[in-house]
A and B are shown apart, each in its own frame.
Chain A
Amino acid sequence: MTTNLSDYVSSREAVLDRVRRMLRDTMKLRIEPEAIDPDVPLFGTGLGMDSVDAVELVVQLDAVFGLTLAGSPWVSAKLRTVNTIVDAILELGNET
């Protein structure tokens, strides 16, 4: 693995771990963070989140990561899976 790839994977795994823990706490899930698959759907199936959970998640993402999604037209695209949240957080890091 090249250094660039190794660095990218390390930073992605660090954010993934934090998002998993945040979701577990927000959803009060009684599972280990590793049991939350990166591509698990957040709504409908998967974690089965509802609109109330979505509001809490948006607040948490803003508070913990500085990711502001409230009022964004892209919110439905960014809150689909754990990985799409990680993508949004990493994009935020690249912009700043």
Chain B
Amino acid sequence: MRLEDEYRSLRHGAALSRMDHVGLVRVSGDDATEAVDAICSGDLWVRDGRMLQTLILGEPGQPVADVYVCPDDDACVLMFEGITTEELSACLAEYAQPELAIELEDLRPAYELISVNGPYAWEALSKWLTPDVIGLPYLSFYHFDRGTCFRAGKTGEYGYDLAVRSGYVERAWEELLALVGALGGGEASLETLDLCALENGFFSVRHASVEGLTPLELQLQWRVSARKRFPGAAAIEERRAKGMERRLTHFVAREGVESGDPIRDADGPVGQVTAAAFSPGIGGVAGMALLDLSVAHPGIDAFFVPGPNVERPIRTVSSPLLFNRSLLVDPHRRTYATRDETSDPPLWLGSLP
């Protein structure tokens, strides 16, 4: 499937993806919550059945893993990107108190992860699982007979991650593919998921190098506790005391802008592109850049990416870049069959420089 087709599936219907890049473990034992709390940057104040989006940081303060923590009875299920299960286990061994009683179980390959994203993803899931899934709040989960359904997603649309027992996963995939197909959708690759995350301003450990960057520059302070110690906390405090010099800022461009490109204004360098990709919804490039703090704001037209023959202007913009269709879809009032997109505003409300 072409990226444009996958993109249309995800932004206008529903799209199915394999999540082989995501780790899944269960930390159990009397001290499971305390041990997980010791390695995560956020405060683990979350009820059973709800999910907390947090980070694991390296000692220099840079994110090494993007993590959902899901308290489940006396255990915590962790869904994570950026590190391996072995690295997560090593992190627990290094930072959790050795006397804590915990057991780590790798839920792979017993379970595989499939995701369904899109403004009508709820419709596919309500037919495949139960109509009750419509009422599942964002960042919550529940178990069903052959796995667990996590209401999450990093695309700005309705999103569900399904941990399905491996023996059942191929059948589940075929059934879900038929359901999303009836909703104008199909399969979406990791590349499309990453593009949609970029458009909506979701942090991804795969979007770009975060070397030397802390949650301060990455606009992820909300994932960092001000009350507890965790790996990388000292580096963040030091950075905060010293003063932040750059901040991640979103931008759009017509074409020809790539990750790593320098950004200048008439007086000199102001930053560097950290991630960029062509967005069918925008009709141009969507990107993120590290800009000098003094100019790290949306709404600026004064910057450009220099080239040998031509300067490519960029415009800084607010995140999220798109007016997601899911904001317009109330499952109780609008289904894929009854949709009428003629009166909907365009996905992208801005203009290109």
Using a CB–CB cutoff of 8 Å, the interface residues on chain A facing chain B are 1-2, 5, 8-9, 12-13, 16, 31, 35-41, 44-47, 74, 76-77, 80-81, 83-84, 86-87, 90
Contacts and interface: CB of A to CB of B under 8 A. Distances in A.
A44 B138 contact: yes
Contacts of A83: 298, 318-319
A46 B223 CA distance: 8
A40 B138 contact: no
Given A9-B297, A40-B221, A2 B320 contact: no
The 3 closest A-B pairs by CB, nearest first: A37-B219, A83-B318, A76-B327
B222 A13 contact: no
B219 A44 contact: no
A87 B318 CA distance: 8
A41 B220 CA distance: 10
Contacts of A12: 297, 299
Contacts of B294: 1, 9
A20 to B, nearest CB: 12
B349 interface: yes
Contacts of B138: 44
Contacts of A84: 318
Given A39-B219, A40-B221, A90 B299 contact: yes
Contacts of A44: 138-139
Contacts of B250: 39
A8 B320 contact: no
Contacts of B139: 44-45
Given A9-B294, A12-B299, 5 more contacts: A1-B295, A8-B299, A39-B201, A45-B53, A77-B349
Given A5-B300, A12-B299, A87-B318, A47 B222 contact: yes
A83 to B, nearest CB: 4
Nearest to A80: B320
B299 A37 contact: no
Given A5-B300, A39-B319, A77 B222 contact: no
Contacts of B345: 74, 77
Contacts of A13: 297
A90 B297 CA distance: 13
A8 B300 CA distance: 8
27 contacts: A1-B267, A1-B294, A1-B295, A5-B295, A5-B300, A8-B297, A8-B299, A8-B300, A9-B295, A9-B297, A9-B300, A12-B299, A16-B297, A37-B220, A37-B222, A39-B201, A39-B248, A40-B221, A40-B222, A46-B222, A74-B345, A77-B327, A81-B319, A83-B298, A84-B318, A87-B298, A90-B299
